[in-house]
A and B are shown apart, each in its own frame.
Chain A
């Protein structure tokens, strides 16, 4: 029972990373019909930005603002930095390629991914880095008699708050309706007075920015970060996106959490070494059995 609970909370934690990254995939895909393969690398870059801020001038941030303050500032830093990177990426790598069609976009996205990975390696080196233990808050305590760390609780709280906020913006506000309208039909959205460029800007800022936050939380949770971790995380978050139904916001959240749970329970009860095999096996099964994902892309065709 203790193992089960441990794996459960662990699965929810990594699932919430997947969910946040998957949200970015899904938002960008919904509006642009583009699978942004560089998204995972933006997540990794976010991890490194947070890391650099925290170790810069020997934990100045942590010393002055405390462990939680330092974590918050690192997340804000990664949020804005990666948001900016996302917008820049759209300008540099995607916008010039739009007229050339979707295949060129995919190639450009792959190129961007390689560029980012190598950029991170060139700046921070090929060896894995580690968030120093001194900057990571990790008080153990028991919740209803079950062992958790304060970091896990905070990560879950932050992730769920962010997911709820995104869900609210996209599904409940007029701007969210404008985003969904743009995703469905750009010309008609323009007729409504929606500036499609603003929507694209927002999507490419917010989607990656969420990944940036997830990157910092991931660094705090696992401590070790490496320049190429974005690739695996990107693929897993992509699997989560497919699992929940690409282009579907609640689907991305559910897909991410579910994937994290399955991965963690598989690692705990079957085999830790085979967990990635298991995850991508799920991707294949979902693609065969239910290619539109669990929730599917929302359709409203008349029956």
Chain B
């Protein structure tokens, strides 16, 4: 499997605190990789470093061999990286449709035209509720709808790599199920490579091929998702063996 995204020896500091202490992560072509771990393990920091909205201290991040440190952060969307941030971060006083349109802002080959409308229809087919809400301010949507909007806004740029940060956070189980169904669907039908950060380890390992477990800024365990599901340590800490993940 060809590597799409390669992160090597990534070190990130918040002041004196080391949030990431030398992390290596790889994401392949047509791949889903899960990054699991407790709060504060550095999962979100990892994704923010990739999309360059967090400055890094050491290490390298490469997209198909292109060192991302040489590219301004706002160009990443145009290079095919879409980041769906933790906590949705929809633009609350913009309408659902304006939010979606902005998702395609960085993609030069797709200006507001037929192509955009077609992609929008595709997003609406994934999340039909968004079509009903298109004229509504994003801040008035429910949590689940906002998450769908955030994912749709990421997908509308037709990304090569999708960085998904805690898509199940704070959502009802039935909504979570729907969102994971879409994750699987875009992976299978569109071949999008997905780096999935989750606290819901069971769900994440259910869709992922490979998994990393971050603990206090370091990769503690990594391996094929099927192996991780049966790993004693993972079961104990993240799959309901203890109360950590409840």
Contact = CB atoms under 8 A, between A and B. Distances in A.
Q: Is the interface of A mostly helix, strand, loop or mixed?
A: helix
B22 interface: no
A178 B93 contact: no
A85 B73 CA distance: 28
A190 interface: yes
B68 interface: no
A124 B92 CA distance: 47
B81 to A, nearest CB: 9
Contact of B139 (A178, A191, A192, A299): A299
Interface stretch (A70-78, A140-148, A179-187, A272-280): A179-187
Contact of B91 (A180, A196, A299): A180
A194 B105 contact: yes
Contact of A302 (B77, B85, B140, B157): B140
Contacts of B157: 193
A298 B106 CA distance: 26
Given A191-B83, A192-B105, A194-B105, A298 B93 contact: yes
Interface residues of B, number: 33
Interface in B123-180: 137-140, 142, 153, 157
A194 B139 contact: no
A301 B77 CA distance: 28
Contacts of B98: 177
Contact of A185 (B82, B91, B106, B140): B91
Contacts of B78: 193
B207 interface: no
B76 interface: yes
A181 B142 CA distance: 20
B71 to A, nearest CB: 12
Contacts of A194: 74, 102, 105-106
A300 B107 contact: no
B244 interface: no
Contact of B103 (A190, A192, A300): A192
A190 B72 CA distance: 10
A271 interface: no
Contact of A193 (B91, B105, B137, B138): B105
B141 to A, nearest CB: 8
A190 B142 CA distance: 24
Interface in A179-230: 180-181, 184-185, 187-196
A88 B21 CA distance: 41
Contacts of A196: 74
A174 interface: yes
Interface of B: 51-53, 72-78, 82-83, 85, 89, 91-94, 98, 101-103, 105-107, 112, 137-140, 142, 153, 157
Given A181-B94, A193-B106, 5 more contacts: A180-B94, A184-B94, A187-B85, A191-B51, A194-B106
